[in-house]
Every structure is written in structure tokens, then in C-alpha cells.
Amino acid sequence: MTSASKKSIRVVAALISDGAGRFLVQQRLPDKSRANLWEFPGGKVEQGETDEAALARECHEELAVDLAVGRRLWSTSHEYTDLIVNLELFGATIKQGDPKPLGAQALKFCTPMEMKALPFCEADVPLLEKLVNGSVPTS
């Protein structure tokens, strides 16, 4: 499949801190693409939706929380064998609710170093490096 024929999607993700240097990550479901890999909470931006609205909606649907979405912290484009992902990461805080894994196998708060030991989606790997070396603002 050539790059020109691949589907391209816009994805938003939340960097949610526990206030102690750890961030919320989730493990993808076993029956989804990139099964069992870890990622930051979020999801696909639907047509006509702003990035911020999509992130709030996805986290409400998949984590049962209400988010305050902050500023964009980082972005990348990654080409998988089946699609191209344009990923936007936003700082976010939980306004209401305790995260539940409604759209994931598992949730946990991890430090950037702990994240490096987990199998992450390829699109997120450059972000992990930047979090470890402090080159992405975390608030």
C-alpha cells in the first residue's frame, strides 16, 4: 500500500498528570488494531469537531471523566502499514470522575521511564523519549 492510498486520520491524546510526575496511559483492547499496545488516552477527531471537543468526548466515552483540555504540547505524523496517523497531544486535567477502562484493557499512571518499559504504539514512541529528557512541557 503506498502512502498516497493510505487512509489518514487525525487523533488527539491527553497528557493527564497525577501531580506526582506520572501520567495516565491505557492499554488497547485485544480485538482492536495495535492490540494490547499502550497509548495515551484519546481518540479520533470526527468531521466538524475541534481537537479539544474530540478529546473531551473521547475521554468521556472511554474513561468516564470530564476533562479540562489545555494547550497543545506536541504533534507528530506516523505512517503505519495500514494508515497514517496525525497525532496531537494536549495537556489535560480531570475535572470530574475517576478514570475507568471503558475503552481499554487497563489504565495506569506511569512515569516516563516506566512507560519506556511498556510496548507502546509506534506513533507515541518519539513522545516517550521527549518526556524522558524533559523536552515536552508537562503542564
In 3D, which of 96, 97, 75 has the Cα closest to residue 86?
75
Phi-psi region of 36 (alpha: psi -120 to 50; beta: other; left: phi over 0): left
C-alpha cell at 60: 468521556
Domains of the chain by residue range: 3-132
pLDDT (0 to 100) of residue 55: 98
C-alpha cell at 80: 503505519
Write down the residue that cell numbers 513522545 correspond to.
127
CA 81 vs. chain centroid, Å, equals 19
Write down the residue that cell numbers 512515569 correspond to.
111
First to last CA, the chain: 39
Is 3.10.310.40 the CATH classification of the domain at 3-132? no
For the chain, give the number of residues.
Answer: 139
DSSP annotation of 105 reads: S
Q: What's the pTM value of the predicted model, to 2 decimals?
A: 0.93
Q: pLDDT digit of tens for each residue in the chain (139 aa)?
A: 566 679 999 999 999 999 999 999 999 999 989 999 999 999 999 999 999 999 999 999 999 999 999 999 999 999 999 999 999 999 999 999 999 999 999 999 999 999 999 999 999 999 999 999 988 877 6
Distance CA 17, CA 1 (A): 38
